[in-house]
A and B are shown apart, each in its own frame.
Chain A
Amino acid sequence: MPKNPNIGHPSIEAHPDLDQWIEISKDERILLHTGKVDIGQRISTALALIVAEELDVDYDRIDVKRTETDVDPNEGFTAGSMSMQHSGKALRMASATARRHMLAIAAEKLEVEAESLEVENGLIQSRETNASITYWELMSEQKFDIPVDESVAVKAPENHTKVGTHVQPKGMTEIVSGRMAYIHDMVLPDMLHARLVRPPHYRAELKSLDDGVVARLAESDVTIVRDGSFLAVASADEYAAVKAAERLANAAEWDLKEGLPTAELFEALTSNERVSLPIAPGGAPVEEPVPALDNPPENAAVTLSARFEKPYHMHGSIAPSAGCAIYKYDKLTVWTHNQGVYPLRAAMAEALDMAIGDIHIAYSPGSGCYGHNGADDAAFDAALIARAIPGQPVLLKWTRDDEHAWEPYGSAMVCELRGSLDADGKVIDWSHESYGDTFMGRPAPGRSGSPAEKLLATHFLEDPLPWPIMPPTMGPHVGVHRNLEPLYNFPEPRLVKNLVRGLPLRASALRTLGAFGNVTALESFVDELAEAGGLSPVEIRLNHLDDEKAKDVIRTLDEKMTAAKAGEADGLGAGIAFSKYKNAAAYCAIGIEVEVNDEAEVLLKRAWIVADAGEVVDPDGLTAQLEGGLIQAASWTLHEQVTFDGGGVTSRDWDSYPIIRFNNIPEVETILMHRPGEPFLGAGEATAGPTGGAITNAIYNAIGLRLRRMPYDPDAIRSAAMN
């Protein structure tokens, strides 16, 4: 017997009871429980489709529970394009177990053979006797009280009638009508609104507060919360809190200490103290000396080298982060829009010195976060304020300035590559070294260091915690080295990750971690080699791939772009790029067509996405994720960099941190490979890396300039043209 690949599924191992996943709720609906949260990526739509399919219940009758501690499964973070593999697979097994169980009871009740039963929209009916009963009559709000069977038979893909179809996303009507309730819209009895007064930068300390201003604020029903350099105001009236925070900010005097490091960023990335580790086949670092970069092989016909630089990027959530908390009878209840309520609870318990059982955390929607934005920090800020004002709920909102200046950014990176081709155009030597800060700053237990010290406010309390210094992560494709290992069969590539110390800004997980920088650099460099070796971009890629699915997405892209005459019109250029996210998730090939106008602006004309994400559950949701990732990565590539000086972050609003706008959005065509019955391959981050590479290659194709430092704004293009 071949081993059942479902046995030992992490979510089911942790939560084996069927009742933890599926509830046959009253009012003839089904409630599904999940540890994954919907942050706009439409995971609830995909999960509802899976449950609807296996239970034979209409999609519209499936509700998706928002995750909260002690009630819903602990599936860690909603991150890394893993939700379908975790919750999707778990719920498929749970639903199939539930269906089989209910049919068995129904057969007994109706006195027929279970095999004679059919289900339509929750109505179980016997083909033999026409006797029938619904799921809801059968269960009448009882629990299943059985475990999920990991070896249960699930529907064959050819029998799917719901999975793979286009449905209206969960929550879409509420969104377009303005009735979607976000955490920012919460109202609780006697609730206070809070705002923070932040220091000028990470290292500053509160020296003094003007007593007169403090006294006047206290008279006007504003509560001031101070703990060391953590400073907040709370008031029943939201605008009063806004104004009080402004007045208090003017009354605060800060000791600026030594300020932020001001060394040139990309210089610092390759010269600061660092931990350097080689990456072994499979994509994980090993504790071994870094091999020297030898001279190119003697049979090298072409050898090139290049250095790519990517600045810090922000998550840039449209809603500044928020958190809501009540501290009552020594217990804490928190609402958060973060990506993992259980890890946050563990971090908060440690930071507040409370028992885990005394903290309850529930997810409430925020705006898109794309990784570790300010959500966890804002939840903890709210908890600190609530603890100082026991008994009253506190809704804390960060300002735009708070979010821009204090969120943990996606690290700046440098990628240094060298490659050689032989006379036949085969890559015979390859070296790729990447330099960057950690991407692992989430407050999570089980990772190195204390989870509490990853909560921002802990560094500003009377008894501050030290800033975390993260060790290198050793798993495959985690952190700086995500997608550092190429999928191409280059012989014995020299791959090195450098985790750099002493960098100026706070960094953590931003969509794709190191993969955006790594894929952009390697896919641009592959094009350089192709040109030097007289190969087309498609040829060099196909010549170095064995994986047929990888080749399929590239060939399909090539056919589409050839038919569309991509980049052929006067003044236009086109480029392609490919990656398989983490070398383990979705395959994705991207083509982009650009024009560089007289103002040296890069105009995005058309884009093509070809993706193989394994079995597709919600094709429209998947397409939206791929398109959205492309547009976001185009914005990173063309527009974005977090700026700073010794006095702190200077990207403090949307003027000083510009992002893409409606006037530069390409036409996008997305082609999904159909692979029914194959495993889910996470796709939420698949397009970002190849988008950076394709734009770099398209600009080169259009104007003959190979850009190697983002953002590719008019200054970058003019300066490349001068050189």
Chain B
Amino acid sequence: MSKLKLNVNGETHEINADPDTPLIFVLRSQLKLTGPKLGCGQEQCGACVVLADGEATNSCVRAASEFEGQEIVTIEGLSDGESLSPVQEAFRDEGAAQCGYCTSGIVVATTALLTKNTKPSPEEVHEALHDHLCRCGSHRRVLTAIDRLIGEGA
């Protein structure tokens, strides 16, 4: 066990964990942030993606200790629980989810993309979502939601 200092959703947390513990277990078990999902544990599906210093990052393999000093934001940190972020609103209004298990990672990745680039090309959108798998087939609605956000200059 060692002490870790993690900045998550704007708050600093002191945590005791094995230094090799992947970030997602610290987020889900210790900080009770269950928005990031365990999907593959191999950085292949994107369900666990969080923001680390603004970059969409898998949390299922890399140790929590590697994230010390970075600003981590989970999907819970994108809105205050009352209102939704523009990306979340667009996804809701377009019905861009069925079971929703992959949605958290896709919302976070979309947020990262549109924060850096308000007018991404279709290729840039595909690139940003390339490692996000969806099995229900909500892809078209996700792309429609993103088009709408681009149109609104989000």
| A interface list, Cβ under 8 A from B | 39-42, 168-169, 171-182, 184-185, 187, 237-239, 242, 315-320, 365-368, 370, 397, 399-400, 620-621, 624-625, 627-632, 635, 653-655, 659-663, 665-668
A620 close to B95 (CB less than 8 A): yes
A178 close to B74 (CB less than 8 A): yes
Given the contacts A176-B92, A178-B75, A659-B133, A238 and B29 also touching, CB distance less than 8 Å? yes
A368 close to B92 (CB less than 8 A): no
* B39 CB contacts on chain A under 8 angstroms: 318-320, 400
B134 close to A318 (CB less than 8 A): yes
Task: Kindly state the separation between the CA atoms of A184 and B25 in the bound complex, as whole angstroms.
Answer: 12
* B142 CB contacts on chain A under 8 angstroms: 662
Given the contacts A169-B95, A239-B22, A400 and B42 also touching, CB distance less than 8 Å? yes
- B92's partner among A172, A180, A400 (CB-CB below 8 A) is A172
A177 close to B139 (CB less than 8 A): no
A562 to chain B, nearest CB (A): 23
Given the contacts A318-B102, A367-B99, A627 and B134 also touching, CB distance less than 8 Å? no
29 interchain pairs (CB within 8 A)?
A: A172-B92, A172-B95, A173-B92, A174-B100, A176-B89, A176-B100, A177-B88, A178-B35, A178-B36, A179-B76, A179-B81, A182-B37, A187-B32, A238-B29, A239-B18, A242-B25, A316-B135, A318-B47, A318-B101, A319-B101, A367-B135, A368-B135, A400-B41, A624-B98, A654-B40, A654-B44, A662-B125, A663-B130, A668-B140
The answer to the question of B150 belonging to the interface, with a C-beta cut-off of 8 Å to chain A, is no
* B88 CB contacts on chain A under 8 angstroms: 176-177
The answer to the question of B15 belonging to the interface, with a C-beta cut-off of 8 Å to chain A, is no
Task: Kindly state the separation between the CA atoms of A176 and B96 in the bound complex, as whole angstroms.
Answer: 9
The answer to the question of B138 belonging to the interface, with a C-beta cut-off of 8 Å to chain A, is yes
The answer to the question of B7 belonging to the interface, with a C-beta cut-off of 8 Å to chain A, is no
| B interface list, Cβ under 8 A from A | 17-18, 21-22, 25, 28-29, 32, 34-42, 44-45, 47, 74-76, 78-79, 81, 84, 88-89, 91-92, 95-104, 107, 125-126, 129-130, 132-143
Interface centre among B34, B135, B142, by most chain A C-beta atoms within 10 angstroms, is B135
Given the contacts A662-B143, A665-B143, A668-B140, A40 and B133 also touching, CB distance less than 8 Å? no
A318 close to B139 (CB less than 8 A): no
Given the contacts A42-B98, A628-B137, A653 and B29 also touching, CB distance less than 8 Å? no
B137 close to A661 (CB less than 8 A): no
* A660 CB contacts on chain B under 8 angstroms: 139
Query: Which 6 A-B residue pairings sit nearest by Cβ, starting from the closest?
Result: A178-B35, A40-B99, A631-B137, A628-B137, A178-B75, A175-B100
> Interface of chain B, helix or strand or loop or mixed?
loop
* B32 CB contacts on chain A under 8 angstroms: 187
* A179 CB contacts on chain B under 8 angstroms: 35, 76, 81
A181 close to B34 (CB less than 8 A): yes
Residue on A with the closest CB to B90?
Answer: A176
B131 to chain A, nearest CB (A): 8
Task: Kindly state the separation between the CA atoms of A625 and B136 in the bound complex, as whole angstroms.
Answer: 8
Residue on B with the closest CB to A240?
Answer: B18
A581 to chain B, nearest CB (A): 17
B126 close to A663 (CB less than 8 A): yes
* A400 CB contacts on chain B under 8 angstroms: 39-42, 44-45
B37 close to A184 (CB less than 8 A): yes
B60 to chain A, nearest CB (A): 10
B91 to chain A, nearest CB (A): 5
